[in-house]
A = this chain, B = another copy of it.
């Protein structure tokens, strides 16, 4: 099936917002086996939208449109589609009811222009909107289909997942399924070279690599008659990847983040954690606190940006700061030790570095970061050299801190189970 995406909205043409809808829809379509060769953005303009639609229907079976479904005069996507497909607009009683209840709940009076949101092209599938007022529509005529979705991502995505995914699955004689294997502590090119043999001979399933900050994701995708058959094809490849990359695989669940995997690891082993941060300024703790339920393991965190704070809060020695400077292995170690002792957490993480743009020297250039981790007295410190601007360097440092800490905890667990590590 060939599809294409049309994003309607003057705000896109003016660059006021970035078109994340198109990327989302493109990714979903690829996963559902719908090939999309074109994406177009056009304003809320009848003539231009009509032309764009005509061109799209000439070359595609399914046209997915977002935006222009609202109550104002500007919103004309539905009207243009109905006219071109020669479908009458009729009132949908459930859509009307939902509209009334939406406004009643909020205690707002419905203005006249809102009623047009209850109109839908005759014989179409109506996608009721749980997160806004404009319903979506799947309209078919002959061999062509138009799928109309609201513009706000918070309304569009749940609607796509609730209605459109099933619609495509029904129309497509096969399903496309995928599992993502997420790695940390290894670069994209290293990953690619280690699975070159698998990529070279790939057919079904396929393997695609995606580089994220501090992570590499491998998406294994298979095409089959049904979900079960697809997973049967995927499973041995995922197993192979897990064997090759070992502990570097932190999850194979789409929804699990690195911080979630780390917090789960701590929870499973009854370990608590604390953080002390300089250049990352609280971002490591903020990422841990992204995880709901982290209060079970998170003791507390400190942001010691200045030298004085490093001394006062976590007892870094003045002489160490003078001799080695704040961005040094020695200071990272004293930070992690001080934090651990004070908080009595089982795991302590420290980060000190120089995020720039000012303050770099020949010996310690911008991007130098020391990260230390202590797990019940077993301490490790590593030096990193990151590239990019202040934000990029800090984001990389956060990912590296989580990766290193996870590694230290895993090592500790392994060693303890063999009885040859100190346990305070």
Contacts and interface: CB of A to CB of B under 8 A. Distances in A.
Interface of A: 12-20, 22-30, 36-43, 45, 48, 52, 55, 208, 210, 275, 277, 279-286, 288-290, 292-295, 298-306, 308-309, 312-313, 356-358, 390-391, 394
Contacts of A20: 18
A45 B280 CA distance: 43
Given A13-B38, A15-B22, 17 more contacts: A13-B39, A15-B26, A18-B18, A37-B48, A38-B48, A39-B40, A40-B40, A275-B282, A282-B283, A285-B303, A289-B305, A290-B391, A298-B306, A299-B308, A300-B309, A302-B302, A303-B303
B23 A18 contact: yes
A138 to B, nearest CB: 20
A306 B302 contact: no
11 contacts: A12-B26, A15-B25, A15-B26, A18-B18, A19-B22, A37-B42, A286-B286, A293-B358, A300-B303, A300-B312, A301-B303
Those 7 A-B pairs whose CB atoms lie nearest each other, nearest first: A282-B282, A281-B289, A15-B27, A15-B26, A301-B303, A300-B309, A282-B285
Given A17-B23, A19-B18, A282-B289, A305 B309 contact: no
A43 B48 contact: no
A392 to B, nearest CB: 10
A220 B331 CA distance: 49
Given A304-B300, A306-B299, A390-B290, A38 B28 contact: no
Given A281-B282, A300-B305, A305-B298, A16 B55 contact: no
Given A303-B282, A391-B290, A14 B42 contact: no
A274 to B, nearest CB: 9
A357 B302 contact: no
Contacts of A208: 16
A305 B295 contact: yes
A308 to B, nearest CB: 8
Contact of A288 (B15, B281, B300, B358): B281
A29 B313 CA distance: 51
Contact of A39 (B12, B210, B280, B312): B12
A42 B295 CA distance: 47
A38 B42 contact: yes
B42 A28 contact: no
Nearest to A299: B309
A285 to B, nearest CB: 4
Most B CB within 10 A of own CB, among A29, A281, A300: A281
Contacts of A13: 26, 36-39
Contacts of A18: 18-20, 23
Nearest to A356: B292
A96 to B, nearest CB: 26
Given A30-B15, A275-B303, A282-B284, A357 B40 contact: no
A295 B286 contact: no
Nearest to A31: B15
